[in-house]
Copies of this chain bind each other. A is one copy, B any other.
Amino acid sequence: MSPLVECVPNVSEGRRAEVVEALAEAVRSTPGVRLLDVSADWAHHRSVFTFVGPPQAVVDAALALAEVAVQSIDLRQHRGLHPRIGALDVVPFVPLRGVTLEDCVALSRTFAQRLWERYRVPVYFYAHSALRPERRWLPAVRRGGFEALLHEVTTPERAPDLGEPRLHPTAGATATGARELLVAWNLELDTDDVRVARAAARRIRESSGGFRGVQAAGWALPGGHVQVSVNVLDYRVAPLDLLYEAVWEEAKRFGAQVVSTEFVGLVPAEAVAKVAAAALRARNLDASRVLEVRLAE
């Protein structure tokens, strides 16, 4: 089988439909690449694009998307729920088949080099591409967001890994790196008390003693509810049903409940099958029992 890489750029634009469409079109019009999903979120003011293709084509598509992002987005005017440091905020490269994580690290370096050369956007390497151990975790790279980084970028501690120690005036900086598949998931609670979402986020995230590989934040949604926004880096050690249960329990302590949840981007079959297996007490349900997964082998 030909090598296949997934790229999941997060862009700081989730409101202007014409910009989201222009970003999508930049990916679609790159030969060899297939755009699988666009998840635009108004409250986050952020869009997540999922596309796949051969390694070099995926880098080309990410650069095509970068051009639109840099030209169309002014971070100085951007206010959304989700923390971000750049117009093109995060660009992860994920090995799907016939490609290693190390190959994807190399892709992230190529992408970063061209991003800096063409658009003068400085780059931070995170996840498996991190050059400093503390930058393996994205939240550390993104701490304080664009506004804090504007000043802190000149300090040695927060200097970019590639490019000069100053942000692009409108596009900020970009984090890129190689990572495994993850699940991005938002849970909505029927309370307007943001402390409930924050308590639930603390309960499940690794940095507060929760599940390994889970990043989570709580914030208020426009319209009166609150949200727990979760990245699950390893759904094998942090199954979604257990995270759901933990958030549910924490909400209940405050008299609130989870009213709905929503995925951002695509979800691996194994993560979905694990939830169904738990719900049905099924002893032989995993991704290998899903017809479409087997057909794709």
The complex is assembled from copies of this chain, and their number is 2
A257 nearest CB across to chain B (Å)? 9
Asked if A263 contacts B292 (CB within 8 A), the reply is no
A273 to B273 alpha-carbon distance, docked (Å): 8
CB pair A280 B275 closer than 8 Å? yes
Q: Is the CB of B260 within 8 A of A285?
A: no
A2-46 CB contacts (< 8 Å) to partner B: 4, 6, 36-37
* B residues near A280, Cβ cutoff 8 Å: 240-241, 244, 261, 275
- Chain B residues near A289 (CB-CB < 8 A): 37, 263, 266-267
A interface SS class: mixed
CA–CA, A243 to B261, complex, Å? Answer: 23
Q: Is the CB of B36 within 8 A of A96?
A: no
Does A276 sit at the interface, judged by CB under 8 A? yes
Decide: A263 and B284 in contact? CB cutoff 8 A: yes
Which of A258, A282, A294 is most buried by chain B, counting CB atoms within 10 A of its CB?
A282
Contacts A/B (CB < 8 Å), 30 sampled: A4-B295, A36-B294, A36-B295, A52-B295, A240-B276, A241-B279, A244-B279, A244-B281, A258-B281, A260-B281, A261-B281, A262-B283, A262-B284, A263-B284, A263-B289, A266-B289, A266-B291, A266-B294, A267-B289, A268-B290, A269-B291, A272-B276, A275-B276, A275-B280, A278-B279, A290-B292, A292-B292, A292-B293, A293-B293, A293-B296
